[in-house]
Amino acid sequence: MDNEKVAKLIKQIRLENNLTQKEFAEKLNVTYQAVSKWENGKNLPDISVLTDICNEYNIDINNFLKGNYVKKKNKKSIYIILLIVLIILISFIIYKINSKPFSLKPIESACENFNVSGSIAYDNKKTSIYISNIENCTDDKKEYDSFKCSLFENNNNRKIRVSTYYTDKDNNIEGYLKKLKLNIDNYKRECKDYKKGDLELELKLTEKSGNIVSYNVPLKIDNNCKNN
């Protein structure tokens, strides 16, 4: 055993743990004078005290006796890490089993006034709707003060508003429609069947006189999510 190295190591352990010689001594049930002698190399702890020091600060005793500061591998920490990794792996497997990739179906208009293009995205858990483009096919060239576009779901003869877009920065239909985007994430919490007309756009344009011009655009979705 290298007395000088062991003495330096004892002092290093005490200082790294922010302990005075008195506090360190109290932890080991010895006097602070004994600790002072250990650190000065005048004396060294007996093997039982050395064992206590190594156990308290998780140090490999064989390396300690050689004056080397080598921490013991903490088996408990390793087990905890392995358990966490296992839980994450199991959770991922369960998620993959219960989920499938998003599928897309086009959304289109079912009337001649406007051509609508968009998509409906779904998996086995939810449905989302995105409408990105509406083309004006009417001869309407009037100037309007404001524009409002709402998406409705027709359910048992009831119209349920899903989303609304409103603007008053342009003065004609084409200007309004260029900026129009409807993005409804998590529209449904489950996969849903759709029939023609289940979804409908309502366009309301306010003239400078205050008169409101309305267009209703039924939407068509080919097939439904449960067929995939």
**Tally of CB atoms within 10 A around 50:** 20
- Identify the CA nearest to 219 among candidates 138, 70, 141, 111: 111
Report DSSP state, residue 71.
B
**Tell me, what amino acid is at 131?**
I
- The reply to whether 3-65 and 103-227 are identical in fold is no
- Please give the sequence-ordered ranges of beta strands (E in DSSP) within the chain, or none if there are none: 103-109, 114-122, 127-136, 144-155, 158-167, 182-188, 199-207, 212-221
187: pLDDT confidence band, cut at 50, 70 and 90?
confident
- With 50 as the cut, is the pLDDT of residue 60 above it? yes
CATH number of 103-227: 2.60.40
Q: How much of the chain exceeds pLDDT 90, in percent?
A: 5
- Please give the pLDDT value at position 227: 43
CATH 3.40.1390.10 fits 3-65, yes or no: no
Domain boundaries, the chain: 3-65, 103-227
Question: Looking at residues 187-212, what average pLDDT do you find?
Answer: 77
**Tally of CB atoms within 10 A around 31:** 13
